[in-house]
Structure 1
Amino acid sequence: MLITSRTPLRVSFFGGGTDYPEYFSRFPGAVVGMAINKYIYISALRLATFIDYKYRLSYSRLENTTRIEDIQHPVIREVLKYYKVDEALDMSVIADLPASSGLGSSSAFTVGLINLVKALKAEQMTRLDLGLAAIHAERELLSDSVGVQDQLHAAFGGLNRFDFVDGRIRISPVQMHSDSQNMLLSSLVLIYTGIQRSASATVKEQIEATRERKVDRELGELLALTTQAVEVLEGSDPERMLATFGAMMHEGWMIKRSLSTKVSTPEINELYDAAIEAGAYGGKLCGAGGGGFLLMVIPPERRAAFNERMQKAFLIPIDMDRQGSAILQN
């Protein structure tokens, strides 16, 4: 039987940077974001024992090996080792959008892989424990300097606020009216910058600045926007909600650009300014920065004109994923 995990990517609205232990070990941290209907799929098929390899992996490259230790893909290798997966497997990975694009694909992959491994072992795991397991895998098994929001968005799905206080995580779904939620979802569009990047250099500079307390004021401002954003999103006037939310996104992006010299580039700034001139209320670059996707907020009545003016750009409308990482069986 082929078993597949389907795990959503995410867009982070506010609070990014406060979800790093380097920050929330000293101050409360909080983020607001949304899982989106763009996915990473990881499939596994148990292999017959007489085949001359034990693990066949198909992702951006093809691997055939007989030992877990020889697997080149670091996440697959370490997760299979940690969870003591000993059976022969054929595994393949496909994704709706490219990696290294600021949509949390690395963490979504880790969440989806752990979810798949647990399904293969017929073991149950809560969404909280799935997110925490992915955080442990990335930060401890792989020694990656990552935040802790992407794993939670991928595990839970939906539109949520996550708080990080005193070593604990609190999950609070944003309670939106139907008209406001429909307005928000019909306004969001991704614009591909054409730049695939590694977030490591940007994250390294930002973490060093966080450790040295050079960006405490800026991160505090982003945290304040998180609380304000929930109040705005839960308002009852859809048009007022969207206009205010878009303006706040713009404000947050201006702050985020000040966290590191590597967050943006002149080309990205030019594309962002063009989107604003075409009718967007505001937006931000997704992820740590340096490339990937811009997320823009465009009121529905301006979308046709916006699409016409931005026709040379690669635009992707998005919706909300409401399920989180799921197991599909064929």
Structure 2
Amino acid sequence: MIIRSKAPLRLGLAGGGSDVSPYSDLYGGLVLNATINLYTYCTIEELDTQEIIIDSYDAGCFKSFPLSSKLDIDGEASLVKGVYNRVMSDYKLNPKGFRITTYNDAPIGSGLGTSSSMVVCILKAFIEWFSLPLGDYETSRLAYEIERKDLNLSGGKQDQYSAAFGGFNFMEFLKEDLVIVNPLKMKRWIVDELEASIVLYFTGASRSSAKIINEQKENTSKGNNEAVEAMHKIKQSAIDMKLALLKGDMHSFAYILGKGWENKKKMANAISNPMIQEAFDVAISAGAISGKVSGAGGGGFIMFMVEPTKKKMVIDALGKLSGFVMPFQFTEDGAHGWKVYETDRV
């Protein structure tokens, strides 16, 4: 039997960073995000051998391990091993041989939540394989615990929930890791207009979000007034943008996006850099209204808001830089898994 799963990546529209502890524990966080048609993928194939084979294209790991209920976390394919160890431990499952293959549509460190989406994707495959009783909230929470606590990887809480739920979501992050996901019912014309107004540009450089996030956490812990006040404004922008989005007010949406980026740059020194600034200068000169780096910052994808009639000019201008423009559409569905039996295979 073969089990497959996929989970969407996301664009962080507003409030990003307020989902990171200790800020969310002290003040509460609010995030507005939406999933897009770029995905992480996982396939599990049952084997008759006493081994576990990991083919992780995203992590660059292609190795075989003796069958065991726990794999050593040694820096190679940590996401796969972390999910496997937790599932086997929590549900007291008997190990059996399998091959697991993972890959994704976007570069690691792209700012689209690739790592968290991959954890959710892998977890969904195991849920499907062993018929585990986990809904979207439980899947998101377990994925968060695996990534942030078991593997000690820096980051927030929004990405796991976005990948599991899918669609446009307004999320609340409270004390003790309590998360409330509020799905937004979007009119089709608003989604179409938003797609027509966004240029998604990859800078050509992936980045590790850990350093930026750790500096952000330190600034909050030490009570850095400028950083904390900036995060308060970023959180408020999620509320303001939600209202603008539901009304289809793209002018206000673009203004809030730009103000959010200006405040985000105050959170940590490495959020912007000359490469990012060059892309902003080129896009704005070509007609873009505003922009924001998706994710923690430092590289990855930038989303620019443009008047749709000027979109081609912005795309052509950015095309002269070292990165590339990524076509995309918003999606409604979150992570899911399915089984393929031998008679179903091509």
| Cα separation, 1, equivalents of 2:166 and 2:296 | 20
| Cα separation, 1, equivalents of 2:85 and 2:188 | 45
Q: What are the ranges of 5 or more consecutive residues in structure 1 without an aligned counterpart?
A: none
1:22: Cα distance to partner?
0.3
Tell me if structure 1 keeps the 8 A contact 2:199–2:311: no
Determine which of 228, 231, 237 is the counterpart of 2:243: 231
| Cα separation, 1, equivalents of 2:45 and 2:82 | 19
Which residue of structure 1 aligns with residue 233 of structure 2?
221
1:311: Cα distance to partner?
2.5
Aligned partner of residue 109 in structure 2, secondary structure: coil
Query: What one-letter code is carried by the residue in structure 1 that aligns with 2:236?
Result: A
CA deviation map 1:232-257 (0-9, x unaligned) = 0111xx4xx11211121111111111
Determine which of 51, 55, 58 is the counterpart of 1:58: 55
Tell me if structure 1 keeps the 8 A contact 2:6–2:41: yes
Which residue of structure 2 aligns with residue 267 of structure 1?
275
Query: What one-letter code is carried by the residue in structure 1 that aligns with 2:121?
Result: G
- Give runs of ≥4 in structure 1 deviating > 3 Å: none
| Cα separation, 1, equivalents of 2:103 and 2:144 | 22
Which residue of structure 2 aligns with residue 41 of structure 1?
41
Which residue of structure 1 aligns with residue 220 of structure 2?
210
Which residue of structure 2 aligns with residue 175 of structure 1?
185
**Residues 102-181 of structure 1 aligned to structure 2 (within 5 Å):** 102-167=111-176, 168-181=178-191
**Residues 174-323 of structure 1 aligned to structure 2 (within 5 Å):** 174-214=184-224, 215-235=227-247, 238=248, 241-313=249-321, 314-323=324-333
Which residue of structure 2 aligns with residue 26 of structure 1?
26
| Cα separation, 2, equivalents of 1:21 and 1:151 | 15
| Cα separation, 1, equivalents of 2:80 and 2:39 | 18
1:181: Cα distance to partner?
1.9
Tell me if structure 1 keeps the 8 A contact 2:167–2:183: yes
Aligned partner of residue 228 in structure 1, secondary structure: helix
CA deviation map 1:119-163 (0-9, x unaligned) = 111223211111111111112211222200011100100011001
| Cα separation, 1, equivalents of 2:161 and 2:318 | 33
Aligned partner of residue 176 in structure 1, secondary structure: coil
Q: What are the ranges of 5 or more consecutive residues in structure 2 without an aligned counterpart?
A: 341-346
Aligned partner of residue 316 in structure 2, secondary structure: helix
- 2:87 is the counterpart of 1:87: no
CA deviation map 1:13-49 (0-9, x unaligned) = 1111110120121112100011111001011100113
Query: What one-letter code is carried by the residue in structure 2 that aligns with 1:329?
Result: K
TM-score (norm 2): 0.89
Tell me if structure 1 keeps the 8 A contact 2:166–2:332: yes
Distance 1:251 1:123, change over 3 A: same
| Cα separation, 1, equivalents of 2:199 and 2:52 | 39
Query: What one-letter code is carried by the residue in structure 1 that aligns with 2:79?
Result: V
Tell me if structure 1 keeps the 8 A contact 2:18–2:24: yes
Query: What one-letter code is carried by the residue in structure 2 that aligns with 1:287?
Result: G
Which residue of structure 1 aligns with residue 107 of structure 2?
98
Taking only aligned residues, the RMSD between alpha carbons, in angstroms, comes to 1.5
Distance 1:265 1:134, change over 3 A: same
CA deviation map 1:62-119 (0-9, x unaligned) = 1111144246322222221221151111111121111111110110011111111111
TM-score (norm 1): 0.93
- 2:87 is the counterpart of 1:78: no
1:177: Cα distance to partner?
2.7
Give the number of equivalent residue pairs.
323
1:61: Cα distance to partner?
2.3
Q: Percent identity?
A: 28
| Cα separation, 2, equivalents of 1:123 and 1:82 | 13
Tell me if structure 1 keeps the 8 A contact 2:7–2:39: yes
